[in-house]
């Protein structure tokens, strides 16, 4: 699988399946989406200047880590495949993410990207892969790399593909900020039902904290 992963992060050693994680989608969950006036669309940031953390994200990630979970980004990033930006810009956005999180005194444990798209303009990224959500490939790879117990983990995302990937991997799932009627219809159509609906990453983390504190 052609996934981008931060290889400079501190390796984690543990017995197989002894770690638990909170997996996070990136755009729309930890950072703002960006309006593109040329296309009239709201999309992922295409350069580092456009990357801005959403309010309270640092606090939420710190809380996740305090509860003993690994914090892992798993994100489809087809912008490179579609020719929206270069590999250098893609890496610059990731670097900006780490810098901004460091400013609020927190960090991620790992980052996994799927760079593929079946309709990619660039041949090397045009494929039907196992890592692009809604398939669970990135979560399964993270589980192998970091000895994660997926059934004891959570996935927080803002899209139907996030919920589907989390369910396929065996995690509990949160759908952030998607209460619009057409989204609910599509969830029902695809038979994809998140365990929890929530308004923000902060609310999802508070729910996880409650669930952990009241786990029997």
Token pair 């609910």 is at which residue?
184
Give pLDDT tens digits for 90-119: 999 999 999 999 999 999 999 999 987 777
Residue 184: the pLDDT is 74
Runs of H (alpha helix) within 27-152: 57-66, 87-103, 137-146
The answer to whether residue 178 sits within a structural domain is yes
Residues 68-80 have pLDDT tens digits of 999 999 999 887 7
175 falls within a domain = yes
User: What pLDDT sits at residue 1?
Assistant: 40
178/160 Cα distance (integer angstroms): 9
> Are 165 and 36 contacting, i.e. CB atoms less than 8 angstroms apart?
no
Q: Is residue 90 part of a domain?
A: yes
Is residue 83 predicted with pLDDT exceeding 90?
A: no
Inside any domain, residue 165: yes
| pLDDT above 70 (res 177) | yes
What is residue 14's predicted lDDT score, i.e. its pLDDT? 39
- In terms of Cα–Cα distance, which of 48, 44, 38, 59 is closest to 97? 48
Residue 5 clears pLDDT 60, i.e. is over it: no
pLDDT value at residue 181: 56
In this prediction, residue 71 carries a pLDDT of 98
Q: Which of 36, 141, 51 is nearest to 95 (CA)?
A: 51
**145 has catalytic annotation:** no
Q: What is the CATH number of the domain that holds 134?
A: 3.40.50.1000
Assess whether pLDDT exceeds 50 at residue 15: no
User: How many Å apart are CA 164 and CA 46, to the nearest integer?
Assistant: 26
Residue 59 lies in a domain: yes
- Tally the domains of the chain: 1
Of 6, 7, 8, 25, which one is the catalytic site residue?
A: 25
Q: Is 34 a member of any domain?
A: yes
Residue 7 lies in a domain: no
pLDDT band of 9, cuts 50, 70, 90: very low
9 occurs within a structural domain: no
Percent of the residues in the chain that have a pLDDT greater than 90, as a whole number = 62
Catalytic residue among 27, 109, 158, 162: 27
pLDDT at 178: 61
Q: Look up 188 and say whether it is catalytic.
A: no
pLDDT over 90 at 3, yes or no: no
2 pLDDT tier (thresholds 50, 70, 90): very low
- The whole domain housing 120 covers 18-213
Q: What is the arithmetic mean of pLDDT over 147-151?
A: 97
Residue 62 confidence (pLDDT) above 60: yes
CA distance 172 to 29: 16
């Amino acid at each position: 699988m052609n996934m981008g992963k931060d290889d400079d992060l501190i390796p984690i050693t543990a017995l197989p399946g002894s770690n638990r994680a909170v997996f996070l989608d990136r755009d729309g969950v930890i950072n703002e989406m960006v309006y593109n006036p040329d296309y009239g669309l709201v999309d992922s940031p295409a350069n580092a200047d456009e990357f801005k953390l959403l309010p309270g994200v640092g606090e939420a990630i710190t809380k996740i880590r305090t509860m003993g979970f690994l914090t892992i980004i798993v994100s489809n990033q087809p912008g490179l495949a579609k020719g929206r930006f270069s590999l250098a810009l893609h890496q610059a956005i990731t670097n900006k993410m780490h810098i901004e999180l460091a400013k609020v005194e927190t960090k991620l444990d790992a980052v996994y990207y799927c760079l593929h798209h079946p309709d990619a303009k660039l041949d090397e990224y045009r494929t039907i892969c196992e890592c692009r959500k809604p398939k669970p490939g990135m979560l399964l790879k993270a589980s192998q790399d970091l000895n994660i117990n997926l059934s004891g983990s959570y996935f927080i995302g803002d899209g139907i593909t996030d919920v589907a990937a989390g369910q396929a991997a065996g995690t509990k799932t949160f759908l952030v900020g998607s209460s619009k009627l057409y989204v609910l219809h599509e969830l029902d159509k695809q038979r994809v039902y998140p365990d929890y609906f929530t308004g923000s990453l902060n609310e999802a983390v508070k729910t996880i904290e409650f669930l952990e504190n009241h786990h029997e």
